[in-house]
Amino acid sequence: MFRTESEKNAVGATYCQRMEDLLQRSDFVMVVVNLSPHTHKLIGAKELAMMKPSSTLINISRGFVVDQDALVDALQKKLIRAAALDVAYPEPQPRDYSLLSFTNVIVLPHLGTDTVETTQVMVERMVTNALVTLTGGQPPDEVKA
């Protein structure tokens, strides 16, 4: 669905052509990218320093997309308000994991989508892929590296 410029502004949406602009203006920065050489540590010290002190970083991608040492430093220096991580490294986190010591950080064990509905869809897709493969067909969700 396409929206007019006034409709975009009515919901508070603003397009940022550069990531720097997005980081400087956003109250919440949600990282949703595939892990690749290009996105490894996409969010590091430089990017965290650009964020507002009142902003929250949310990572639902892969742990290595955020430089966690830089994140710890940014939180200690109060460069950002908080962080919510559905993914981190290493997984599972050890008990002395540095980010677990912050009261303004939520760390989940990569289960942000763990709902009954999502699990049902995932199982149905696995069964569909398995049955197609067993009959010699091309699985619809095949991942090619």
Catalytic residue ranges: 62, 91, 110
48, burial (CB in 10 Å: exposed 0-12, middle 13-18, buried 19+)? buried
In order of 47, 65, 78, the CA distances from 54 in angstroms are 15, 21, 9
CA distance 141 to 122: 11
- Beta-carbon neighbour count of residue 83 at 10 Å? 25
Cα angle: 109, vertex 111, 126; to 5 degrees: 125
- Residue that is written with structure tokens 């009142």 in the block: 54
CA distance 65 to 41: 4
Q: What is the longest distance spanned by two Cα atoms in the chain?
A: 58
